[in-house]
Every structure is written in structure tokens, then in C-alpha cells.
Amino acid sequence: MSPNYIRSFSEGCLRPPTVIGQFHTLFFGSIRMFFLGVLGFAVYGNEALHFSCDPDKREVNLFCYNQFRPITPQVFWALQLVIVLVPGAFFHLYAACKSIKQEDILQKSSYTGFYIFSVFLRIVLEVAAFWLQIQLFGFKVNAIYMCDVGALERKFNVTRCMVPEHFEKTIFLIAMYTFTVITVILCVAEIFEVSCRRLGLLKSQ
């Protein structure tokens, strides 16, 4: 791919054709990723090391932690961020290959429709991730996790495990839910902005 295509692609990703899209890029790229990258590591970075069960043995702790966390929250949210970026990246790659200027996207119906579809797909992916997050993590992290250790062929089937910093994790969960909701609202507002521009209710940038 030539340098011009790369430059057009990067400009399209960083500066979408709508005002709300640009704010979404700022919010998504700066605040949300910073929150996950910095605070997420601080909250969840040493969770596996401090997760302890009764009896406090390595095999029991590891078995129960894997049961408690089928996937670590940092990995899940990182995958969510990457997957949600895919529709927009594909659109801007298409625009770069077709040499479509950002200001022309809202002028031609086919380009506008393709762009709206990419935003709508982002909404679908965010909602799917929101639902999956509820299934995996719920809305609250309890201090005690009851682990089924029957597979270890022990005399007891259920053991108590202590979840470190459960209150901080609950706050972080609510924050990530909030970020998802804000992102969905921004995407819906962006579709509304595009529609208003097409109908002439808003002036073009």
C-alpha cells in the first residue's frame, strides 16, 4: 500500500467525517484505552497471585482461579476494544483505497450508507460485548467465591476462596459498563448527525 493510502487511512481513523465521530475517537482512543491500560493493570494485574482458597495450596488456588476467571477482564476488554474498532477500520481502509475524501463521505449516498452501516455494526458489537460481560462478570465482585473442587478428587466438593480487592473491581466493572453505554450513545448520536446532514438540517463541516 502506498504512503498516500496509509496517510488517508490514518487520517480517516483519527478524523471521522462527523463531529460526534471525532469526539468518539477521542473518547475511545484516549480515555477508554488509557483507563483500561493503566488502571486496569493496577486493579487486576496481581489478582491471580493474591487469590487464595481454603486450603491455601497452589493447585487449589490455581484450579479455583481458573474457574473464577474463565477469561481475565483485561483480555476481554482489550478484545472488545479491538473488535469494535474493526468496522470503522474497514470503512476507512475502503475509503483510502478508493481515494474518498472525508468531506465527500456525507455527500454521496453509497458512501454515507456504508459509513452508517459501519457505525451500526459498532453498536451491535458493543451491545454484544455488554451482554457477554454481564454473563462473565456480572455487576458485582463478591469478597468470597465458592469454588467447586470436586474435579480434584478431594473429600470436600466446595471450598471458600478470598477475592482480593473486590470493591475496587466492582467499581471498575461499573466504569467499563458505563464506557460501553457512552460509546453506544455516541454511535447512535453519530447516525442521527449523519441523517440530519443528509436531510440538510445541519450544515456540513
**Is residue 132 in some structural domain?**
yes
Count of structural domains, the chain? 1
End-to-end CA distance of the chain: 29
How many C-beta atoms surround the C-beta of residue 175 within 10 A? 16
Got the DSSP string for 121-147? HHHHHHHHHHHHHHHHH-S---SEEEE
> pLDDT per residue over 151-162, tens digit each?
776 666 778 888
- Model pLDDT, residue 20: 78
**Is residue 24 in some structural domain?**
yes
Contact 49, 12 (CB under 8 A): no
**Is residue 65 in some structural domain?**
yes
**Is residue 43 in some structural domain?**
yes
**Is residue 166 in some structural domain?**
yes
More confident residue, 144 or 6: 144
**Is residue 105 in some structural domain?**
yes
Q: How far apart are CA 199 and CA 132, in angstroms?
A: 36
If you average pLDDT over residues 104-119, what whole number do you get?
Answer: 80
Mean pLDDT of the chain: 79
Q: Which region among 53-57, 130-134, 178-182 has the lowest average model confidence (pLDDT)?
A: 53-57
- Model pLDDT, residue 5: 43
- Model pLDDT, residue 131: 94
**Is residue 205 in some structural domain?**
no
Q: How far apart are CA 90 and CA 119, in angstroms?
A: 11
Give percent above pLDDT 70 in the chain: 83
Domain that holds residue 137: 3-8+18-197
Q: How far apart are CA 134 and CA 111, in angstroms?
A: 35
Residue 159 belongs to domain with CATH number: 1.20.1440.80
**Is residue 49 in some structural domain?**
yes
> pLDDT per residue over 60-101, tens digit each?
888 888 888 888 888 888 888 888 888 887 877 777 777 667
